[in-house]
Structure 1
Amino acid sequence: MSTHAIMRHIVFGFLFVLMAVAVQPSQARASSPAQTALETSITRILGSIKNPDYVNPATRKPLRQQIEDEVLHIFDFKEFSSRTVGPRWSTFTPAQQQQFSDAFAELLLNTYLSKIDGYNGEQVVYTGEVTSPKGDRTEVRTVITMKDSKKVPVAYRMLPKDGTWFVYDVLIENISLVKNYRTQFQDILNSGSPDQLIAKVKAKAQEVRQGNGQ
């Protein structure tokens, strides 16, 4: 599956599996702290999407900003970035790490967040969680049923930090988003420096933003 397709499913999964969970409070199993964190974010995101102003391009911008802010709140892009770069992350200075994290987050948001406008009624089911023995990692598992009846497993890997839980990787059909991007970034780092990687990610993020008319 391509990175584009992966991210499309991530956005749908994030937005709509949690909606399905959130609107069915009568489930026998109580929500875990990780699931609760996701549900809190999705409630806020749905509030923006359901706002009548969201369907009007002239009034959508501030609502889209609220959605972006919430995604930035629930996803730990610093952790996401360190795992994506891999072992070479330790060769980045603190300033480079922050610059890369900011650029990578902007690239993902600019490229894929608009996909929420293409929701076509995918059905999502929450299927459970797997937690590490120490309780410091959990994988929230879901299955999305597409319009063509294809079932796509989507799992959200989360970790606790500062009293709540954050997403640090997403698996679509057992394909890790982190590993998918790591391959691309390693190719750049094999022949370039951290600053060159940061510059390329920033340039791509800006290109996509302009292409979206933002």
Structure 2
Amino acid sequence: MKTHQLLFRSLRMLVALCGLSLLLAAPAIATADEVAPDVLVKKVSGEVIDIIHNDKGIQSGDTRKAVELIEAKVLPNFDFNRMTALAVGRDWRGATPEQKKTLTDEFHALLVRTYANALTAYKNQTIHFKPFKMAPGDTDVLVRTEIKQPGAKPVSIDYSLQKGDGAWKVYDVVVAGVSLVTSYRDQFKQEISSGGIDGLIKSLQAKNQAPVATVKK
């Protein structure tokens, strides 16, 4: 339980800096054949920080503006189909095409809410990039980072990216050694056990229809 809480507490507070610094690079990702994933992360970090610093709406907690930014810049760089399949686990194979589409859409919406809330919580965190290794021809890599916060212990946040159709896309985020996908898988398994795939869909829909919590400043 403590690990689970750490994961989501870290995501809410840190995803704005580290997650978006990785994901707000749609133009650069198109040249992924020439630029390594870790280089892309470093390149766009400054751009993201500038956006946050200059957007008074996001700074004041305007979640709507944060959602618009994420929809426009972040989502094209997530492999939501793979993330949803991994989160659902073996029950994914038994879902109908319609259920798979609905699950992916709802999981997509849930993560947008998480990222939007986290973006408005950005403070003074800094990102440190750990040594990166990638062999020629690799299509699945891990970009390892560490987030440093004033008055708190550093938190490791690592990104799993896969290259497909010439573009790198994120399919998992690991916070302090805990996988985002795996954490959701544990929740989804419980929902499926009690209500099947349709029960999980209803649970996600209920969460996405609830008011978005405001981050306390």
What TM-score do you get using the length of structure 1 for normalisation? 0.78
Verify the 8 A CA contact 1:74 1:167 in the aligned structure 2: yes
SS of 1:98's equivalent? helix
| 2:26 counterpart of 1:7 | no
Q: 1:141 aligns with which of 144, 149, 160?
A: 144
The residue number in structure 2 matching 1:84 is 87
| 2:167 counterpart of 1:164 | yes
The residue number in structure 1 matching 2:71 is 68
Q: 2:18 corresponds to which letter in structure 1? A: G
Long gaps (5+) in structure 1: 20-29
Q: 2:16 corresponds to which letter in structure 1? A: V
Cα distance in 2, alignment partners of residues 110 and 101 from structure 1:
14
SS of 1:129's equivalent? coil
Residue 174 of structure 1 and its aligned partner are, at CA, apart by 1.1
The residue number in structure 2 matching 1:25 is none
Deviation sequence 1:50-86 (CA, Å, 0-9, x none): 5445358698845640333322112211111111111
Q: 1:142 corresponds to which letter in structure 2? A: T
Residue 197 of structure 1 and its aligned partner are, at CA, apart by 0.6
Long gaps (5+) in structure 2: 25-33
User: How does 1:104-119 map onto structure 2 within 5 Å?
Assistant: 104-119=107-122
Choose 49-58 or 170-179, whichever is displaced more. 49-58
SS of 1:154's equivalent? strand
Cα distance in 2, alignment partners of residues 100 and 171 from structure 1:
22
What TM-score do you get using the length of structure 2 for normalisation? 0.77
Distance 1:94 1:16, change over 3 A: same
